[in-house]
Amino acid sequence: MADFDVLLKARPEPGGLGLERRTLRRPGAGEVLVRVHRAAICGTDLHIVRWNAWAARTYKPPFALGHELSGEVVEAGETDAGFVPGDRVSAETHLECGECAQCLMGRGHTCLRLRTFGKMDQGAFAHFAVLPAPLLRRIPEGVSHKHACLMEPLGIAARAVRESAVGTGRLLITGCGPIGLLAVAAARAMGVDSISVIDPSAPRMALAVELGAVPLEGDGFDGAVDASGHPAAINDAMARVRPGGTVVVTGMPEEPIPIDIGRHTVLREVVLRGIYGRTLAATWSQVSDLLPKLGAALDRIVTHEFALRDYQQAFRVALSGTAGKVEFVMEDSR
């Protein structure tokens, strides 16, 4: 089998990245070999590259990086998932056991024996990846690899908007990184009337406005999505939603944060909840319906593209706090 490059978190320190040459292996039972066309840098990757306290508690290098991808099936092992060579696929991040109490409640994304793509050492920042067949999701007809690469994070954003219970009302989004920008695009497509945003980065604020949001003014929002994980932003969102409103947190705080539960959750009945990824069936169905409607928005959100060999520059851009989505292009296809 051919050799290929894969990007590793090689060492337990800030940075600590390196390319490794690996030999391609054939998929085993229940696995699928995917040729990666595109892969995107996500917030989790940035935590890992910064090697903050959360990443150091959660991961043990060396391991392959990246989990947001689009590609095509090269070969399927013995599986009943029905994938054949040439199928265009993206991938879920969470692999459920299907047997625990959470799975039996339809909550496979919080499975008690959950396995995550990021810990399988089969990273998407590579020309090939061997994946468990249950993680694969088909790309809707006519959707480019550039856009399909965003199916997984778009699922987080779309689910967050839905769980905020904003309906067609007023939505606040705190943090205009990639998830926040995708939440703006999703909310627009889902019929939200008014979307306000706040972020310290002027370029990201400008991009959010291009997508149909307005800079933050006032309060009394029907719902809020925090895509920053920053303590001040989460507390601000709690204060700015109306009594009975919902704040959904998608960003990962690096440390425990203080929140005035008495003022907001008790006296004003504000709901605070987090989401961990996508529901494994309903969210992907929603994303498949949304994706063909979001082409122009996704073209704006993908602000930078790099070859895998230029990974140092790609991460510098992604860590700058001014970019939208940063993608690696492994195959010359849109």
Active-site residue list: 44, 47
Bridge pairing between strands 194-198 and 214-215: parallel
Q: Burial level of 312, CB count in 10 A (0-12/13-18/19+)?
A: exposed
As a whole number of angstroms, the distance between CA 79 and CA 229 comes to 39
What residues pair up with 20 in beta bridges, in sequence order? 6
Query: Which residues does 215 contact at the CB level (< 8 Å), separation at least 6?
Result: 196, 197, 198, 205, 209
As a whole number of angstroms, the distance between CA 221 and CA 125 comes to 39
- SS3 at position 117: helix
Assign residue 315 a region: left if phi > 0, alpha if psi is -120 to 50, beta otherwise?
alpha
